[in-house]
A and B are shown apart, each in its own frame.
Chain A
């Protein structure tokens, strides 16, 4: 048996699962100390099903703590950035386009050093060990304990980043190091930004991981703990301490993966309807499609892999205005739904009131919305379905029919039919799809590099990339026989000579369970 937990800003959801069967589910409130909310969820699960802590083989947690820390610019560690690339890149120094608030929250410690590579692996300038050592001394003197290192074209050649890391570690043995080639892709500023974001979360990662571990200890569970990454795979505790940025946007990913399991579909559109927004994503072979463009993390532009999610301001708490042609949202009463919605005796007409009036849901006191004009109710229901359908339509990549799975607490807003989509599913346990997604996550490995085809044949390049991805998945904890290649992408690089091609391969396998109750 495994437990999946989703720790959101407002709610902590948990499920107990055996294989793909949901044995118990619970929704509790998230607490500011982290530990007690998770303990409450675990104890709540024990009320819904009989199990002993020793039956639990693994606990998977998805959390928004790290995203929120960046958005709120709180609990971030002072962080230094060393970029290797001089004399290139000086025109745009590190953190050049960051919001002032975030830049000052981590101290403005950017350093430019010699190093870096050309697109084809040639050296821009040699690394100067003395220069890096002087920078490390300055970082130490400033009392900074986390360092991000980036180098021009490090996805092509990572040597300089690793050499610089060795030098810094020698001078400052206790600092956390985050290297850009392990975090992002081509696009120096965006990759460096993601690396800095990771670096400034390292201390918080220790705090959060310790809080989760202590919650498990409190309820007597000694099974290994894993955290959800945004690509739908898991990372263990040690990896989480090093790469907290990998948790960003794991919430929508977990919802989509949970929806896939609940509906039995691996290729579909998923609509996750909450209190304020509806988030739409696409699943391909059971994994979320990734965003093709840069993503914004709290005002910082990054090219970190993220699920492609499109949101519309329609949720259970969305305000409804107008008569014959009503407008829904984008503002919402949010967590005040139970005070402000009409069905709870409040004075604000919300989307929830509309579905109760239409008889689609039994929430609060239906008599309080009996006075609503039936034409308004019908028009509002149609408007919601139309707006959500339009977002789903924007997300699809072809005109082929695509099934739609609707999950989340607000999924009652959508009738059983969605204009333009023949197949609409609303599976059981829809309200805890995110915790289910966390519980069923697998482990993966990924290779994303530019290869020069010519020295090696195309087949050799692809075979090499696939083998590396499989090895990485196994190293991350996948059972060797279960690893499969789930994605191969080849992108020819325009205007680059020598048939340079960017190859991205992703391998995924089932988590290898240690002996039941194994300690970690």
Chain B
């Protein structure tokens, strides 16, 4: 069933997306404002479920590529999506019928709403990850054998570039350097999918999930425990409640890596949790034992308000709750774990599903 998304629903969607962003994706503020403005100007966005997508539909994913620092300074002109779409039409030779979201976290979960409002195209209630990951190829379409190309990039000046590469690695390299020339911020269209591929290549229902997450946290305020409410919606497990006692950071290869240490409070009094992150939260070790790790989701929430805490926002003294939630089952296959499992991020522990480690 399709749903009309109005501007007043974007605040919940942005908050929920930040929770599903598992610490990454940056401050969703600009993304929320852009979506609210676009919807006010062009009308509501139609969100459609994967079961409503006809087999011959032509779907592309919309995402911003570049530095978060630039996004908050050189904001979009509003023509970038149309420019990229024109370039894409030329190579596809057929109409694009639907838009999709590639990651449910941070600014890239709200940008597709901007694109959908501006173009009037329906937006799929789905995404390519079911969470956020730090690298371009870490999406389910990669597992499904879908190429990121043709990939269109556009800036606010009317420039566009179209990539056709031998593999996704070359696409990432070319796209990154073009995005830098475009001022370190480019609008991209990628992963062209057919209607009959979306069920294999996308995670269903993630955009309505982020809205539900954002809403229960807001509504819990002053009435019930917002962390418990969020955990319920995520089908997750409370891993820890405590206070941050140390945060160590280092920037390596353009990624912000680091470790946060927590000391338990309440039911977790006397226990510790260590959280490792690379833009997103990667691994949680409770009393030295891994209780959750990639590709499962590790969400850090403010214990009082339930608001998401990004890895940049981790500070000594914060009272936070850590929630683990199962990832999409396709990430748990051998091919999925090759792409985004603990080994890829340099850990030697094997993957144990969060519900298994929480049951023992």
On A, residues with C-beta under 8 Å from B are 85-92, 96-97, 116, 118-119, 122, 124-125, 152-153, 186-190, 293, 301, 393-399, 492-497
B316 to A398, Cβ gap below 8 A? Answer: yes
List 24 interface pairs A-B (beta carbons < 8 Å), by A numbering: A85-B74, A88-B76, A89-B74, A89-B77, A91-B37, A91-B75, A92-B34, A92-B76, A119-B183, A124-B74, A153-B73, A188-B72, A188-B75, A189-B30, A293-B313, A301-B29, A393-B243, A397-B315, A399-B246, A494-B255, A494-B256, A495-B66, A496-B70, A497-B184
Q: Which residue in chain A gives the minimum CB-CB distance to B316?
A: A397
B350 interfacial contact with A, CB 8 Å: no
A493 vs B73: C-alpha distance when bound (angstroms): 13
Q: Which residue in chain A gives the minimum CB-CB distance to B34?
A: A91
Pick from B34, B184, B256: contact of A118, CB below 8 A: B184
B66 to A152, Cβ gap below 8 A? Answer: no
A186 to B73, Cβ gap below 8 A? Answer: yes
- Contacts A189-B72, A493-B69; is A118 near B183 (CB within 8 Å)? yes
A160 vs B195: C-alpha distance when bound (angstroms): 49
A91 vs B37: C-alpha distance when bound (angstroms): 7
Q: Give min CB distance, B320 to chain A, whole Å.
A: 11
Residue numbers in B under 8 Å from A85 (CB-CB): 74
Query: Considering only CB atoms and an 8 Å cut-off, how many residues of chain B contact the other chain?
Result: 39
Residue numbers in B under 8 Å from A188 (CB-CB): 72-75
- Contacts A87-B79, A118-B183; is A494 near B251 (CB within 8 Å)? yes
Residue numbers in A under 8 Å from B72 (CB-CB): 186-190
A250 vs B79: C-alpha distance when bound (angstroms): 42
Residue numbers in A under 8 Å from B145 (CB-CB): none
A209 vs B32: C-alpha distance when bound (angstroms): 40
Q: Give min CB distance, A350 to chain B, whole Å.
A: 23
Cβ < 8 Å to A, chain B residues 10-60: 29-30, 33-34, 37-38
- Contacts A87-B77, A89-B75, A493-B69; is A96 near B183 (CB within 8 Å)? no
Residue numbers in A under 8 Å from B317 (CB-CB): 393-397
B144 interfacial contact with A, CB 8 Å: no
B343 interfacial contact with A, CB 8 Å: no
B329 interfacial contact with A, CB 8 Å: no
The 4 closest A-B pairs by CB, nearest first: A495-B67, A394-B317, A91-B78, A118-B183
Write out, one digit per residue, whether chain B residues 105-121 have a CB within 8 A of any chain A CB (1) or not (0): 00000000010000000
A393 vs B77: C-alpha distance when bound (angstroms): 44
Q: Which residue in chain B gives the minimum CB-CB distance to A85?
A: B74
- Contacts A124-B183, A495-B254; is A92 near B37 (CB within 8 Å)? yes
A92 vs B75: C-alpha distance when bound (angstroms): 7
Residue numbers in A under 8 Å from B68 (CB-CB): 494-495
Cβ < 8 Å to A, chain B residues 271-303: none
A187 vs B74: C-alpha distance when bound (angstroms): 9
A394 to B318, Cβ gap below 8 A? Answer: yes
Q: Which residue in chain A gives the minimum CB-CB distance to B244?
A: A394
B245 interfacial contact with A, CB 8 Å: yes
> Which of B74, B79, B316 has its CB near the most chain A CB atoms (within 10 A)?
B74
A85 vs B70: C-alpha distance when bound (angstroms): 13
Write out, one digit per residue, whether chain B residues 224-239 have a CB within 8 A of any chain A CB (1) or not (0): 0000000000000000
A241 vs B245: C-alpha distance when bound (angstroms): 44
A87 to B156, Cβ gap below 8 A? Answer: yes
Residue numbers in B under 8 Å from A393 (CB-CB): 243, 317
Q: Give min CB distance, A96 to chain B, whole Å.
A: 6
B77 to A90, Cβ gap below 8 A? Answer: yes
B223 interfacial contact with A, CB 8 Å: no
Q: Which residue in chain B gives the minimum CB-CB distance to A398?
A: B316
A287 vs B330: C-alpha distance when bound (angstroms): 53
Q: Give min CB distance, A439 to chain B, whole Å.
A: 32
B349 interfacial contact with A, CB 8 Å: no
B37 to A116, Cβ gap below 8 A? Answer: no
Residue numbers in B under 8 Å from A492 (CB-CB): 251
B316 to A496, Cβ gap below 8 A? Answer: no
A96 to B67, Cβ gap below 8 A? Answer: no
Residue numbers in B under 8 Å from A90 (CB-CB): 76-78, 156
A397 vs B314: C-alpha distance when bound (angstroms): 11
A152 to B74, Cβ gap below 8 A? Answer: yes
Q: Which residue in chain B gives the minimum CB-CB distance to A502?
A: B69
A396 vs B317: C-alpha distance when bound (angstroms): 7
A205 vs B33: C-alpha distance when bound (angstroms): 32
